[in-house]
Chains A and B, each alone.
Chain A
Amino acid sequence: DTAVSQTPKYLVTQMGNDKSIKCEQNLGHDTMYWYKQDSKKFLKIMFSYNNKELIINETVPNRFSPKSPDKAHLNLHINSLELGDSAVYFCASSQETFQKQYFGPGTRLTVT
């Protein structure tokens, strides 16, 4: 069974569109995260939720909105996509905040 899953794996879309990426974890963890890895391969934290509460919100444009319907899910919605949003987005989870994290396989977003 996949511990942390993301859908879709690949997403190609045009500028200005709105898209969502879904994440689910079946580990029973309390904390979930979204990371962005750009073309330079730097992995940057975007958001973190603990028990459905937003606890980390880095300097991310308002076009990015995370939503956590329950502890097992953390979705990422992006409005008005821009070329610079092209990256690989990783979801992760851990039992305690920033303890041992389990990462999903990533979603490669390409904005044309």
Chain B
Amino acid sequence: DAKTTQPPSMDCAEGRAANLPCNHSTISGNEYVYWYRQIHSQGPQYIIHGLKNNETNEMASLIITEDRKSSTLILPHATLRDTAVYYCIVRVPTKTSYDKVIFGPGTSLSVIP
């Protein structure tokens, strides 16, 4: 029951940009899109998040479409250390006053030398 859909796997050549897509067609107007990654069974690591505008930090850029139904995470110069599972998540309302997040299967990104 994840609210996001991502391709199960992608390859990217080392040094090239990795563009990871995510669909979140049922996103609500005040829900943020979050991206995390998990490198080989380590704890997930926060990458970036955004609401409407494109965002950039030292790790990646996040491009959100104008209708907010999809987004793309961009790793500008992928390295072998970027090989990981990338999760795109949004909040899911619950019956309580607190929302929660659901991690889907994510995209397994393989950076190839």
Q: Which residues of A are in contact with B by a Cβ distance under 8 Å?
A: 4, 35, 41-45, 48, 50, 55-56, 88, 90, 92, 97-98, 100-106
Contacts and interface: CB of A to CB of B under 8 A. Distances in A.
Given A4-B43, A88-B41, A90-B44, A98 B100 contact: yes
Given A55-B98, A56-B98, A97-B98, A90 B103 contact: no
B99 interface: yes
A48 B101 CA distance: 11
Given A90-B43, A97-B99, 10 more contacts: A41-B85, A41-B105, A42-B105, A50-B98, A56-B96, A90-B44, A98-B99, A98-B101, A100-B46, A106-B42
A75 B52 CA distance: 37
Interface in B6-21: none
A102 B45 CA distance: 7
Nearest to A55: B98
Interface residues of B, number: 22
A45 B42 contact: no
Nearest to B38: A43
Contacts of B91: 98
Interface string B11-52: 000000000000000000000001010100111111001000
B59 interface: no
Contact of B49 (A42, A44, A100): A100
A103 B96 contact: no
A103 B45 contact: yes
Contacts of B46: 100-102
Contacts of B85: 41
B94 to A, nearest CB: 7
B102 interface: yes
Contacts of A104: 43
A50 B98 CA distance: 10
Nearest to A101: B46
B43 A45 contact: no
9 contacts: A45-B100, A45-B102, A97-B99, A98-B91, A98-B101, A100-B34, A105-B42, A106-B41, A106-B43
